[in-house]
Structure formats: structure tokens, C-alpha cells
Structure 1
Amino acid sequence: MMTKQQFINQIAAEKANQLPIVNGDEWRNKFHLMAPIGWINDPNGLCYFKGLYHVFYQYSPLDAKGGLKFWGHYTSPDMVNWTEHEVALFPDIASDVDGVYSGSALVHNDEMYLFYTGNVKHKGDHDYILTGREQNVIMVKSTDGFNFSEKQILLTNEDYPKNMGLHVRDPKVWEEDGIFYMVLGARSVDDKGYVLLYKSTNLTDWELVSVPAGGLDDMGYMWECPDTFKLDGKDIFMFSPQGMDAKGLKYHNVYQSGYAVGSFDENKQILSLGAFDELDRGFDFYAPQTFKNHDGRIIMYGWAGVPDAVEHINPTIEKGWQHCLTLPRELILKGEKLYQVPVEELKVLRKHETIIKEINLAQSQVFELFENNTYELNLDFTNVTTFELDFREDCQLTFKDGIFTLSLGESGYGRDYRRVEIKAISNVRIYSDNSILEVYLNEGAEVFTSRIYNKRLDKTLTLSGTGDVTLTKWSL
């Protein structure tokens, strides 16, 4: 087992070698958070603390293909201008020796508490599902958000229900009516996904309350990254189930991320949930996490990637880096549906506005709009029943017969198309960065997030269909 200082020295040497190559890559994004080198996945420890937004993240600085996990760290005063910091958490004790896995933050009594899963894999002939693995809930705290206390082990395998296997992880902690609660995602011994609920009065001693939801035949074998929060008085349960089968146009990624609207009973023994709905219909979205902002908004980040998506290639590995996070999105509940809207703060990125009003789509029209691949594009449609947008070489957005389709050609590197049923489309909002697209339909009713790797700059946008559209474009 390496010490913290040994890791610091090793990472510093790796950065000295890799940063010139990584920073010279044309696919590095301009306004999406990435790891400085290596691999990034789950957003962790999201919070607003003492005037700064903190985004921690799963980080493999020594392996762009994803190896030993640390927690990387960014801060920002406004969710726009970010400062990279040194690694926050290292796998430097026996209880997290094989990785600092995902977790959350809680701000309480002017201190930041971080909770995460310490991963341990024993040597030997193990399947690491029922044998050979430790999943330890660990806590550290900080008075400034940068210097952390000694690690405190809160829960171990012995504290989980006996019908659970050894995949129990990803603590999300919150306070409610003076009691602290924690949810953990779990996989049972008979391969069903569950959520576990614990409570505490002091953030140190935790007891099992219930196994309030899970065990469904069609909802996968593991529920990762559980998250629960309230909107309009309703309990929203967000999670990432592994092992769901595709149904029609739904669930076509190897693993899913979604939510259900529901409610806990009075004693928090049962979490009654409505229908599960995907959060994002694109190729690259997983492990979302939320936090409640100081102004009351629920804000979510996601990982712009999916684990084990072997058919999706990321050519940036050759340059020493892989993946990024999504933009921060405010969550708004309308009825039983979550809408996702890029946070208002991002509007300060806009420069050089171009507006083209009332474009008739009856005849195909080509506009030369783009001087690079970093822009925001907003399209407001009137009386449109079909349309086709072609841009970024071979990216195509189409709407026909109540189906919206995102298609990626060779630039998708194995990503072909994703679809969603939608009755009508009045608005499409696109955030384009050098190697990612975020497409929002009807003010965030549906979202598609996908990586894209263009080999040349395509300056044009081609439009056709029925009805009219007003187009607004900003350089970012």
C-alpha cells in the first residue's frame, strides 16, 4: 500500500509527462469539466460551501482507461469559472486500498463532511460479488473544503443486510428534521437491485432503518449511485440500475440512469415509487448526483460516459485522457416528470449572438454559422411536424412521426443512434463542445448527451422540414 506522499509524487511525475500531450489535443473541451490527465467518471461530493461550488469526481490520474480511483477536485464561485485543485482523497488506508469510490457531501455546522465507499479486493480466487470484496463507508470532514480530517470508517460488510452481496456502495447523505439519513445502492445475493436506508443523530453512528425499495424483476441486478431529494413536496429517487433489458426505444445503453417520483411512508420503511424514467436518452450519461444550492435549486451533474460500453470508442485515450462531466442542470418537476435546464449562470459564456428569424423549412437551407465547435444553438419551431438538422460533419437530428432521433456517423466512434417518442417539438437547444453534445428538447423535457469526435471543422448547418424556425447561435 502506497502512502499519500508517494501517490502525490507519482501523480506529479505523470502530469509532467502527460500534460503537454493532453493539453494539445483538439478534442479537449472548453466548458465541460475534465480531469487534467487520465480518466474521470462519477461526479462526487457536490456542494456549495463557504462561497464556492465544490465538484469532486472519480479520478484515475495514472491510467486513461480507468485504474485506481482517487477523488479529484474543482471549485468555482459561479459554476462557470473553475479552479483545479490537487487530489482530495487518496486510497491510502487498508479500508480503501483498492479505490476511493463514489460518495456525497453534507454541509453541517459550518463544516463539510464527505462520505464515500472504500473499495477493497482480496487476493485469491474470488468472484468479487459474493466473495473477496469489502465495501466500507468512510467519512472525512473539513473546515475549509481543502484540508481533510483523518478517515473514519462508519459501515463495513457486517453492517449490511445478510441477503445483500458484496456490492453495496455510493453513500448519499442528507439531513431531515434533525436526523441524518444515508442511502446506499446494493445488489442482493439473488441478483436484484436494492436501496438501503440508514440513519444517525451524530453522523458517526449509523443504524439500518429499512430496505425501502428494490427487488423488482425488471429493474436490474444492481442499483448504483442512489440519490433522493424533494421537489414540490414529492420524494424523487434517482439511481443507476445495471442489468435492465431494452424495451422499445428505451434502455439501449449497457446501463441506465433515471428516476421515479414517489414518497416515503411515515416511518421510512417503504419508498413507494412511480414509473422509472430515463434521465438522458443519449449514449453518454451515467451516475448523476444532485445537491441543493444555497438558493434552493436542485442542481445535477452527470458523468458523460457509461461503464462497460465496449462498443463506444473514445480516441482521446491515445492522448492520455478520457471522459468529462455534463454541464450543471437545474431540475424542475412538472407533474410527474423531471425537466433538466442548464443553469442560468452558463449564459455568461455567450458571445457574438447571431439571430436568423422565421426560416421556412419547406426547402433545404444551408447556413455557414460556426467558426469552431464550441457554441450554443437555440431553435424555436412554429407549426413544425417534421425536421432535419445536419451539422458537425455527420451528426443529424430528425423529427418525424412522433419520433426524435439523434444519429452519429463515423464521428460517433461506435455510437449510432438513439431515439425517443415525443408528440411535438417546439424548441431544441444544443450545447456543442469539442467532443460532446448536449441536446435539450422542449425546455429540457428530454435530453440527449453524447460524445462526438469530428476529424474536421464543419462550419455549416443544414435545415429542412415543414413549418418555420427562428435560430439563435452564440459562440461560447
Structure 2
Amino acid sequence: MKLQTRELLDKVKAAEEELEKINKDPWRLKFHLMPPVGWINDPNGLCQMNGIYHVFFQYSPLEAAGGIKFWGHYTSSDLLEWNYEGVTLVPDQEFDRDGIYSGSSFIENDQMHIFYTGNVKEEGDHDYVRKGRGAATIYVKYQENTVLISKAPVLRNEDYPEHYSCHIRDPKVWKEDNQYFMVLGGRTLDDEGRVLVYTSKDLKQWKLCNELKTKETFGYMWECPDLFEIDGQNLLSISPQGLIRENFRFQNIYQSGYFYLDGDFRSDYQLRDFEEWDYGFDFYAPQTFLDEKGRRIIIGWMGMSDSDLEYQNPTIENGWQHALTMLREISMKDGQIFQTPVKEYLELRDELIEVENKTKIRNLETFELEVKQGGIEDLEFIFSEGLVLKYNVQEELFSMEFINELGAGRTIRKVKIKSLKSLHMFVDTSSIELFLNDGEKVLTTRYYNSSTENTIQFVAGTAEINIWKMKNMTVNY
């Protein structure tokens, strides 16, 4: 028997009563958004409306190991103090009864329009790829922390092209040239990942406009599509599944990255030069939005689907799992994409620590470390005696390698970079985000120190090194 809205919300409320207990976990993060309780994955519905930032997220408050998905909701006016607004979308209809899956928000005339995928899994002997799964695209209006009664499907399985499987999801909507556009990620019956482009005049009636694909098969499924422009260049961001692992690329089970899209996405186009957003262990399903300052901001899920066979997340035992990344601003320089933490994080800087080369810094919990190279030299950092960060000039190789249980099964990630001019590292209680050369390459990982104190030892030649202790971000529950 399907649970009704009130029953579901009562279950969420009961689960969230464990928040005070869960917040005592020393691995809870200090300047990242996390699930209040239970599980978090994809960031959704990212936007800013009337000065307020909105971050929705796929949320399973009832099970830390993942279960039926709701949408949780955070808001902020300054990106440093956040309010948890509770559960916004509940899987309470026949077209979304098995989960509120990923989607986006579109702002027009002070009205937020939300689109998401309603997940349905039919009972019976199904593979849930070619049959047995419903994946409707749902449209709902949102206003003043209240979901209006207009929650309804605008596309169902029978509306999608016949050569596609049941796996079509994650709508991203925007307006251009007085038309509304939507991209959806998909998997064909021939197991090829693609993106479907739809257009509409009223946000309710949608017509297939184009199909975006590569000349050669590039994975079997493209999740979380996002199409946007940076300095006149269109980018198509996707999270492809099914790529073959390589030594320096595609090292995770699934990837997230972007194509440069040349031409017109509505007609003649070309996808070229796929680049990964992040080369670390824990980054997937990113989404971008344009804020009112004109910044293109990206947030990713600091986690990875189906990674439990390779590495673990011991916070499950403490009632929660995963987090979102820092907010990063995307920019383009000389035709290349860079990511840097939004400048608001600078306000979290606290005490500046005096640093000398070839020494060990102790008693750190959360901190920011910045390295500027005095010349092209090898670098090596040993973090909490279990993580080695190294740059080899001769091999033009940066590596992030766990050598003990600090990584909870994580091993090594490597990225090619011709010269390392700067390194910017943000260390939270159980996460690290590394920005090389002002965000030319980025590596994100979770880690699990048995102590709340971190140490860092380094050999950095003539590099200039600054370390700041970090203040906590405020989250009001």
C-alpha cells in the first residue's frame, strides 16, 4: 500500500529527530552541506531568487545506506549561513512513488519552476532498463517554501523516442531566444549514452528538438546533463557511465565532465574534447547555475554511485552518508576551463599559521592551505601520515595516494599537468578538495581520520606556503 504524504512526512520528522545525536559524529563536516540525517546525493534545483540561494538535494532521510528519495532544501543569503527548509518534494504520487529523482529549477518573473524525474519501478520480472521502469518528467511550481498543487507529468515514457530504454532522466531547463529548452540524459536500446533536447513555449507542452551524441559510443548512459555558455563557448556537462578506465582518465567507476559544443545545439553541432570536472575519488552528478552576480557556479555530489565495492563510507554506522562539494565558480581563460571556490569562503579564514619548509604542522582540524611555486620543482605533502600528495616534474604527474586506512579503501588517483604553479587545498573534518593551478585540475576525496587532529608534513623547495585555520559555516536546522 502506497504511503500518503502525511505518513511520509511523519517518518521524515521522526528520522530527523536523531539530528542532535548524529551531529556529535566527529566526521561531520564544518563548511560543507550534508544531509541532516541519512543519505544525500545529487544537488538539484540550484538557483538564486530575490537574493536567496536555493540548494535542493536528493535525500534519503530514512536510510543512511540509501533508500527512497525525497528532495531536501537549503537556503542562504550569503553562502556562509544556511537554513534547512525541510523536505520540499515527497514521493507521494503514482508517477513518482519510488523516488524523487534529479532535476532543476528555472526562475521567471519571481516564480520558481521545478522539473524533476519521477521514478517508478513496476513489480514483476523486469530488467528495469528495457522494461519495468517509469521515468516521467514532472513539472511543479514552487513559491515561498510551499509546493503548489500543479505537480504533474509533462513527459512520460511513451513520449520519448522509441529507440530509447527506460533510462531517461534529470531534466535541466533554461530560456533562450524566447523559447524554453530542456535537456534530458538517456540510454538507448543499443546501450549508447545521449542527451535529448526538448523545446516548449509554455513549460507544459514539450517537443523533441534534437539529440546530442558523439560520433563513437561514449558510455552506455549519460546522466545529469547541463548545457550552458561560458565566454561565448557552449559546454555540455554530463555524467557518463560505462567508460573504460585509463591510467590518467576515467579512474572512477563513473565520471563527470564536459564537452565543448561547437555549432548550434538545436541543429548542426559537434561535441569535442571531453574533460573531467574532477580527478578525485568522490565527485559525481554536478549541476551549475547562474547567480545574480553573473557567476556560473557548480556544485557536485561528494560521493560516487556504486562505489561501495571499492571503498567505504564509515559514517553510515553513525546515521549519515555523503555531502556536497564546496561551491565553485567556473571561468574560462585562453580557451580552458577553471574552477575556483567562490570568494565567500575567504571569510572563513581564521588564524594564519607560520610555516617553514620540511617541517610537520600538528593540531589541525579544518584548514586552508595555499602553495605558490617559486620555481618548477617537485612537491610532496604527507597528510595525517596516510595520504601522500606528490608532484613529479619529470613525469608531469600529480598524484593523490592513500597508503593506509585513512582512505577507507581509496587507493590512488593521478592527473597529468605540465607544470604545477600553485596548489590550493581545503581540508574539512572528513573531506579534501584540491585545486591545482587556480583550478585547472581539481581532485576531491573523502577521508576518515581516527583522530580529530590532522598533521601535514611537506617538502616544497622554494615554494611559498600559507595555512589558515578555518571557521565553521553556520547551518540552522
| Equivalent residue runs for 1:55-134 within 5 Å | 55-134=55-134
1:113-192 equivalence runs, <5 A: 113-192=113-192
1:50 maps to 50
Q: 2: CA distance between counterparts of 1:80 and 1:231? A: 26
Shift of 1:379: 1.2
Q: What is aligned with 2:290?
A: 292
Distance 2:434 2:48 in 1: 27
Normalised by the length of structure 2, the TM-score is 0.95
Query: What residue number does 1:438 align with?
Result: 433
Q: Quick check: 1:193–1:216 contact (8 Å CA) kept in 2?
A: no
| Sequence identity percentage | 43
Distance in 2, matches of 1:355 and 1:181, equals: 52
User: Against the structure 1 CA distance between its residues 351 and 452, is the aligned structure 2 distance closer, same or farther, given a 3 Å change threshold?
Assistant: same
SS at the partner of 1:383? coil
Residue from 387, 390, 393 that aligns with 2:382: 390
CA distance in 2, matches of 1:178, 1:28: 45
In 2, Cα distance between equivalents of 1:297 and 1:228: 15
Note the 1:284-433 alignment, pairs <5 A.
284-310=282-308, 311-356=310-355, 359=356, 365-368=358-361, 370-400=362-392, 401=394, 402-408=396-402, 409-433=404-428
3-state SS, counterpart of residue 199 of structure 2: strand
Code of the aligned partner of 2:346: K
- Counterpart code for 2:296: I
In the superposition, relative to structure 1, how do residues 10 and 353 fare at CA in structure 2: closer, same or farther (>3 Å)? same
Deviation at 1:215, TM superposition (A): 6.4
What is aligned with 1:7? 8
The aligned counterpart of 1:451 is 446
Q: Please, which runs of 5 or more residues in structure 2 have no aligned partner?
A: 472-477
Query: Which ranges in structure 1 are unaligned for 5 or more consecutive residues?
Result: none
Query: Structure 1 residue 159: deviation in Å?
Result: 1.1
Equivalent in the alignment of 2:233: 234
How far did residue 352 of structure 1 move?
1.2
Alpha-carbon distance in 2 for matches of 1:88, 1:6: 15
For residue 25 of structure 2, give the secondary structure of its aligned residue in structure 1: coil
TM-aligned CA deviation for residue 248 of structure 1 = 2.7
Q: Deviations over 1:344-372 (max 9, x none)?
A: 1111111112344xx5x5xxx2233x534
**Residues 464-473 or 178-187, more deviating:** 464-473
For the 8 Å contact 1:111–1:144, the answer to whether it is kept is: no
Secondary structure at the aligned position of 1:385 is classed as coil
Q: 1 CA distance for matches of 2:86 and 2:466? A: 42
Render the CA deviation track for 1:240-278: whole Å, top value 9, x for unaligned.
Answer: 00000012311010000000112342x712431111111
2:324 partner SS: coil
Structure 2 Cα separation of the partners of residues 153 and 458 of structure 1: 50
TM-score (norm 1): 0.95
Note the alpha carbon deviations across 1:187-233, whole angstroms, 9 max, x for none. 0001000000000011111000011324632x100000000110111
Asked whether the 8 Å contact 2:371–2:424 carries over to 1, the reply is yes
Distance 2:215 2:37 in 1: 39
Measured in 2, the distance between the counterparts of 1:466 and 1:44 equals 43
> Secondary structure in 1 aligned to 2:373?
strand
Query: CA 1:122–1:136 in 2, change beyond 3 Å: closer, same or farther?
Result: same
Number of residues of Structure 1 aligned to a counterpart in Structure 2: 466
Residue 396 to residue 148, structure 1, CA distance change in 2 (3 Å): farther
Q: Which runs of 4+ in 1 moved over 6 A?
A: none
What SS does the corresponding residue of 1:411 show, helix, strand or coil? helix
What is the DSSP-based 3-state SS (H/G/I as helix, E as strand, rest coil) of the residue aligned with 1:82? Answer: strand
Post-superposition Cα deviations, 1:396-439, rounded to whole Å, max 9, x if no partner, equal: 11011311001123110010110101111111111111111001
Deviations 1:82-134 (A, max 9, x none): 10111000000000001000000000121000100000110000000001011
Indicate if the aligned counterparts of 1:25 and 1:319 stay in contact, CA closer than 8 A: yes
Deviation at 1:471, TM superposition (A): 2.5
State how far apart, in whole Å, the 2-side matches of 1:328 and 1:391 are: 24
Give the Cα–Cα distance (whole angstroms) in 2 for the partners of residues 459 and 103 of structure 1.
Answer: 37
Does structure 2 retain, via aligned residues, the 8 Å contact 1:212–1:269? Answer: no
The DSSP-based 3-state class of the residue aligned with 1:318 is helix
CA-based RMSD of the aligned residues comes to: 1.4
Aligned position for 2:25:
25
Q: Deviation of residue 333 (structure 1)? A: 1.4
How far is the alpha carbon of 1:14 from its aligned partner? Answer: 1.7
Give the partner amino acid of 2:123. K
1:238–1:6 distance in 2 versus 1, CA, 3 Å: same
Decide which of 278, 281, 292 is 2:279's aligned counterpart: 281
Most deviating of 81-90 and 390-399: 390-399
Q: CA separation in 1, counterparts of 2:100 and 2:14?
A: 21
CA displacement at 1:138 relative to structure 2: 0.2
